[in-house]
Structure 1
Amino acid sequence: MDEELAMICFGIISNSGSAKSCYIEAIQKAKEGDFTGAETLMTEGENCFHEAHTVHLDLITNEASGDGVLASLLLIHAEDQMANAEMAKVFAEEIISLYKKLA
């Protein structure tokens, strides 16, 4: 794996992890009744996830144009982290919605 691809993978992992952390913190804010804080963290998470997704989309676009990327454990881990962040978002939205109904 070349250094450029490794850095791309680390960027995906970092941004996905940040997004996931924001979503989990948003749940905690909603649990405390701070729905404005929860919304702010969800937006911050969205921004981080968007960064990860944009870089990942560039890899897919390059592959579609014939400039393929060899699969590696690091790339697979990066994609797994993106998927986990996306699921964390879905769960956070549902849990926050439930906390709002209880408030």
Structure 2
Amino acid sequence: MDDAQMAVIMPLIMYGGEAKSSAVEAIRAAKAGDFEKADERIEAASKAIVEAHHGQTELLTKAANGEDVPVSIYMVHAQDHLMTGIAFVDLAKEIIELYKVIKN
């Protein structure tokens, strides 16, 4: 794996992890009744997912154009972080809505 591939993979890991962390912070804020902060953290999580998708799209475009995109443990790890981040954000949104109903 060369430096160019790592330059795409590492942001996937970073932004996927950031999205998950922000989603957890959003749930904790909602649990405490701070829905403004919860919404702010969900927005941050969503922006992190968008950033991660840029790297993923770059890899998919290369593959679609017939370029060799080697799969490594780093690639698998990066995709895992991204998918976990997406799942956490989706679940956090639902949990926040539940807390809003409970608090009202």
CA distance in 1, matches of 2:79, 2:68: 16
Q: Tell me which residue corresponds to 1:87.
A: 87
1:30-66 CA-to-partner distances (Å, cap 9, x unmatched) read 0010101100110011111100011101110111011
Matches within 5 A, 1:14-93: 14-93=14-93
CA distance in 1, matches of 2:60, 2:74: 16
CA distance in 1, matches of 2:79, 2:46: 16
2:101 partner SS: helix
1:67 partner SS: coil
Post-superposition offset of 1:68: 2.2
Unaligned runs of 5+ in 2: none
RMSD (Å), alpha carbons:
0.7
TM superposition score normalised by structure 2: 0.96
CA distance in 1, matches of 2:32, 2:11: 32
After superposing on structure 2, the runs of 4+ consecutive aligned residues of structure 1 that deviate more than 4 Å are none
1:78 partner amino acid: A
CA distance in 2, matches of 1:60, 1:34: 39
TM superposition score normalised by structure 1: 0.97
1:4 partner amino acid: A
- Percent identity, please: 34
Q: Tell me which residue corresponds to 1:102.
A: 102
CA distance in 2, matches of 1:58, 1:6: 12
Unaligned runs of 5+ in 1: none
